[in-house]
């Protein structure tokens, strides 16, 4: 029985790895061992950054909402607190989009947030 070697299997695996490493600099894209090690590190960065992307977008949305709210004389935290009092459940992605693209609609949200906070304050004073 002839000896089985991994010639074509290994070649195919190496070619697939080098194809994935296309665009890397220097020997990282031409030598299998360097390419493989670089791809292992790249996989950990991919995994980490898929989670960090969610974090980064939430921070961006909060900054946009804060900027929109400050145009109407209110800061982010009081705006969000007022929306919760008014039972308006829009997520931060939608609120940021409204602040950037539809300032009139965002202004009505700020007004309803302000009214809900005033109503809470009046109720508190009436009970005291």
- Per-residue pLDDT of 98-119, as tens digits, reads 999 999 999 999 999 999 999 9
User: How many angstroms separate the CA atoms of 69 and 79, rounded?
Assistant: 7
Q: What residues contact residue 66 under an 8 Å CB cut-off, 6+ apart?
A: 75, 76
State the 10-residue block means of pLDDT for the chain, 128 residues long. Answer: 82 96 96 97 97 98 97 96 95 97 96 95 88
| Residue 116 confidence (pLDDT) | 95
- Count of other CB atoms within 10 angstroms of residue 99: 25
Q: What is the pLDDT of residue 7?
A: 80
| Residues whose CB is less than 8 angstroms from the CB of residue 30 and which lie 6 or more positions away in sequence, other chains included | 18
Residues 30, 50: Cα–Cα separation, whole Å? 27
Note the pLDDT of residue 128: 73
For the entire predicted model, the pTM comes to: 0.79
pLDDT at residue number 72: 95
Quick one: pLDDT at residue 127?
Answer: 85
- Please, what are the domains in the chain? 7-127 (1.10.1900.20)
pLDDT at 5: 79
């Amino acid at each position: 029985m002839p000896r089985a070697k991994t010639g074509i299997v290994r070649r195919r695996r190496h070619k697939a790895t080098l194809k994935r490493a296309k665009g890397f600099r220097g020997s990282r894209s031409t030598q299998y061992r360097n390419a493989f090690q670089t791809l292992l590190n790249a996989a950990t960065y991919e995994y980490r950054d898929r989670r960090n992307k969610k974090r980064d977008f939430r921070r961006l949305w909060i900054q946009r909402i804060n900027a929109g709210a400050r145009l109407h004389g209110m800061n982010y935290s009081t705006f969000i607190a007022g929306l919760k009092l008014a039972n308006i459940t829009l997520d931060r992605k939608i609120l940021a989009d409204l602040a950037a693209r539809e300032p009139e609609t965002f202004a009505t949200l700020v007004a309803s947030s302000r009214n809900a906070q005033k109503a809470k304050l009046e109720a508190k004073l009436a009970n005291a």
